[in-house]
Structure 1
Amino acid sequence: MKFLLLLLCSIISLMTSSQTIEKHRWENRILLVISEENNSNEEYSNQLQVINDSLEGYTERKLIVYTVLPNKYRLLGITTNQEANWIKNSKLYSTYNENKKPFKVVLIGLDGGVKEERNAAISSEELFAIIDGMPMRRSELNRK
């Protein structure tokens, strides 16, 4: 009985984290800001400041940001200026930070594929250049 309960909890946990990313497919690009800690990691703090300084560019590129810690994650409220509550789950962290780096950023494209991974903060200019070079983004720009 205990085994079945544990198995059920594991399945629900896997479904929840994959749905988190999957629900944005074809709608938003995703930047995962992954860290072991949220207060004492300088790269993490620097990345959040870079994001905060360039909100308009993130919105224009349909880019949303999740902050991911070992046991929880949350969506940053770029367009609403409100951060969502933390959701307890370790699957995003273990899936996108298998090597357990102290800090990592992961860019996920509209198609759900990983487009860029870094172990250091990335500037908005560099991030926007990567996105603007993607075929789907060029199509978006051509339609405007």
Structure 2
Amino acid sequence: MKKNLFSLILFLGAIATSLSYFPVWAQNDPLESYRWQHRLLLVFAPKVNDPRLTEFKQAISTVQCEFNDRDLLLGVFANDTRSRIGKRDLTSYDVAALRSSYGIKSNDFAVILIGKDGMRKSHLSEVPEMKQIFEQIDAMPMRQEEISNSTNSCLSNP
């Protein structure tokens, strides 16, 4: 019995020690699960019916194939509705962490492009043209590789 208890304690200690080697940012980053899988367009608006948010969502809907082809997910953050990235709801803790990380106040409008590497590629305070976003993505080395390996019919610029 004592041997089993001792083995369990050693096992749990080994797990705890190994977890301490994970970088803190990886443990607390609400975007970590998207890294190397998706590019993110995070849109922060004071309210869900903000005209800039509405305009941006309409612009995306007109180029949905190109949006999807670039492995983009839309994140919408507004004070009066649940925040989400793609189909996943975020906790209020995650939203607060993102606002803090990117320096966005609750009454700010911002569009942030996050690359597949998890790094911020642009931070805009106005509604961008989708062509501008797509050109920036298409200039990225990882995207260049995707283009060369793809046969998708909507690869042309919008």
Question: Which category of TM-score, normalised to the shorter sequence, fits these structures?
Answer: 0.7 to 0.9
Give the Cα separation in 1 of the matches to 2:83 and 2:126: 19
CA shift in 2, pair 1:52/1:17, >3 Å: farther
Matched, 1:88 2:92: yes
Q: Which has the larger radius of gyration?
A: 2
Cα displacement string for residues 59-85 of structure 1 (whole angstroms, at most 9, x for unaligned residues): 1000111101348521235xxxxxx55
- Mean Cα deviation higher: 122-131 or 107-116: 122-131
Match of 1:36 in 2: 46
Q: What letter matches 2:115 in structure 1?
A: G
CA shift in 2, pair 1:16/1:70, >3 Å: farther
Equivalence map 1:23-62=2 (5 Å): 23-39=33-49, 41-62=50-71
Q: What letter matches 1:140 in structure 2?
A: E
Give the Cα separation in 1 of the matches to 2:76 and 2:27: 16
CA shift in 2, pair 1:67/1:17, >3 Å: farther
Cα displacement string for residues 67-119 of structure 1 (whole angstroms, at most 9, x for unaligned residues): 01348521235xxxxxx5564332222322x1526210000001000001100
For normalisation by structure 2, the TM-score amounts to 0.68
**C-alpha deviation, 1:47, in angstroms:** 0.9
Give the Cα separation in 1 of the matches to 2:26 and 2:137: 28
Equivalence map 1:13-32=2 (5 Å): 18=29, 20-32=30-42
Give the Cα separation in 1 of the matches to 2:77 and 2:53: 10
For normalisation by structure 1, the TM-score amounts to 0.74
Q: Secondary structure at the match of 1:68?
A: strand
CA shift in 2, pair 1:15/1:115, >3 Å: closer
Give the Cα separation in 2 of the matches to 1:94 and 1:29: 20
State the number of aligned residues. Answer: 122
Equivalence map 1:1-144=2 (5 Å): 18=29, 20-39=30-49, 41-70=50-79, 72-77=82-87, 84-85=88-89, 87-89=91-93, 90-96=96-102, 98-100=103-105, 102-144=108-150
Match of 2:21 in 1: none
Give the Cα separation in 2 of the matches to 1:99 and 1:63: 21
CA RMSD of aligned residues (A): 2.4
Identity of aligned residues (%): 27
Are the aligned partners of 2:104 and 2:110 in contact in 1 as well (CA < 8 Å)? no
Unaligned stretches of 5+ residues in structure 1: 1-13, 78-83
